Amino acid sequence: MEFELWWLLGIPVFFALGWLAARVDIRQLISESRTLPRGYYKGLNFLLNDQQDKAVDAFIEIMQLDPESADMHFALGSLFRRRGETERAIRVHQNLLARPDLPQLQQEQAQYELGMDYLKAGLLDRAEETFNTMLQGQYGVQARRALLEIFQREKEWPRAIEAAIGLQEAGAGSRQKQIAQFYCELAQDALVHLHPEQALELLEKSLQADRVNVRATMLTGDAQLVQGDVEGALMTWRRVEQISVPHVALVAQRLMDGYRKVGRPQEGVNLLKSYLEQASSIDLIEVVYKAVLELDGMDAAKQLISNELRRTPTLLGLDKLLEARLMDAPPNLVSELSMVKNLVHSYTQKLARYQCSHCGFKARQFYWQCPGCSRWETYPPRRTEELNVMN
């Protein structure tokens, strides 16, 4: 009982000590804030209002008054880089590194910022050299990320694989999907140079990294086709449906061509029609329409387009229907139908694009890596109008 009472009596003392510590901290903070130059607050205010030119002028003024202020150098260098003035950013960070009294942590920060300046300026060799010296320091993970970006820009895929594995081992999260795409890049290059055996080895590594990689599956079928194994290629391409039904539109033409080569085009049409029932797509419709027109005639092709347009009404589908109608239109209607077709077609060209789900970059062709933000697998395998209809 006496022990508990002793602790109860001590509680007010602890509160008093905490109050005193807080007062000391607040006074110290106020004292330090008064020592900051007025230009610091001006520059900060300009930054918050997105007035970068004025912020730069304010920070330059501070640096002239206090050349030893490392924080101001970092802020100014970052502003220069954001504005695209990489030469000035490089000079700021080089000046910082030249200071013998700069603490170790700030030296590493300055070195990292200098590497980012080189990267922004496109001086990839200098950037790579800078980041390679930082792999074991406080900025090791950031340096590895930057190196990975450099290797991707230079399309040095083996080194990109090593960098991605290094990031994983450093605890920076999984990079398996990226690694799988890097192997796909190497495999595609091997196929271009007609080395299907080498391509298949690389694609196996890609699928080990990411078992549900659509691109690796498609390229595996391509390699089997180059080897002359058409039936094997058909079986591989059909696996795309098991991975992602919407992506069958990307492999539809390969399947149709393959079934023609083995003398079973009707089987190919029936297969693609079944895909169409699961995931309607203008790219898939295009392939099926041409195949039906070739095998079953005009009436069947027009009926196919009409059915799909009722199921998924889009201007892209209407454009295809008008194209079909024009093929056997009466002479007195050809002129009017052609005018309507041309108007619809000119508008659909803006809609017949793929769009990156991360940065919004639009492209006429499908990309595995976005040309805008350089991210992998951010393009849905559908045109923009189809996505809007689905939403």
SS3 369: strand
Q: Write the DSSP assignment of 208-244 as a string of letters.
A: HH-TT-HHHHHHHHHHHHHTT-HHHHHHHHHTHHHH-
Under 8 Å between Cβ of 174 and 168 = yes
Residue 24 is encoded by which pair of tokens? 């000391």
List residues bridging with 376 in a β-sheet.
369
Residue 254 CA to residue 232 CA, distance in Å, equals: 13
Burial class of residue 88 (count of CB atoms within 10 Å of its CB; 0-12, 13-18, 19+): middle
Residue 247 is encoded by which pair of tokens? 């992506």
Residue 138 CA to residue 264 CA, distance in Å, equals: 62
Burial class of residue 326 (count of CB atoms within 10 Å of its CB; 0-12, 13-18, 19+): middle
Residue 298 CA to residue 276 CA, distance in Å, equals: 19
How many beta carbons lie within 10 A of that of residue 231, not counting itself?
Answer: 11
Q: Write the DSSP assignment of 328-362 as a string of letters.
A: T--HHHHHHHHHHHHHHHHHHHHHS-EE-TTT--E
DSSP H helical ranges for 297-330: 298-311, 315-327
> Does the annotation list 184 as a binding residue?
no
Region label for 7, one of left (φ > 0), alpha (ψ between -120 and 50) or beta (otherwise): alpha
> Does the annotation list 359 as a binding residue?
yes
Residue 157 CA to residue 248 CA, distance in Å, equals: 27
Residue 113: which of 80, 136, 83 has the closest Cα? 80
Q: At what angle do helices 282-296 and 298-311 cross, to 10 degrees?
A: 160
How many beta carbons lie within 10 A of that of residue 262, not counting itself?
Answer: 13
Q: Annotated binding residues for Fe cation, as ranges?
A: 356, 359, 370, 373
Q: Annotated binding residues, as ranges?
A: 356, 359, 370, 373
